[in-house]
Amino acid sequence: MPQLDAATYLTQYRWTLITLFLLFSLLVTSILPTIKTNWLIRRSVMGGWATLGSSKAPGLNKEVVTIWKDLD
């Protein structure tokens, strides 16, 4: 069985580590900052109650909010 061949362990292990390192780098450099930026915008627009585990919102305001009013 090729899965149990000792000669292929090192190459499979290297490629697994390289792939996981690249995925982790992508996550840290692009995906997490985007999520944080969107969360900060949402928190500022919603009035500060948009935090995890918060129950301070009795009712949601469903009107359209313009974020970039100064650009007009």
Mean pLDDT by 10 residues, the chain (72 residues): 72 91 95 90 71 53 58 50
The per-residue pLDDT for 40 is: 85
Residue 53 lies in a domain: yes
Residue 43 lies in a domain: yes
Which value, to the nearest 10 degrees, does the dihedral of the CA atoms of residues 54, 60, 61, 66 take?
50
Q: Are 49 and 39 in contact (CB under 8 A)?
A: no
Total of domains in the chain: 1
pTM: 0.53
Residue 21 lies in a domain: yes
The Cα 61–Cα 35 span in angstroms is 23
Residue 1 lies in a domain: no
Closest CA to 57 of 68, 69, 47, 44: 47
Residue 12 lies in a domain: yes
The per-residue pLDDT for 28 is: 94
Residue 63 lies in a domain: yes
Q: Are 45 and 67 in contact (CB under 8 A)?
A: yes
**Which residues form the domain of 37?**
6-70
Residue 28 lies in a domain: yes
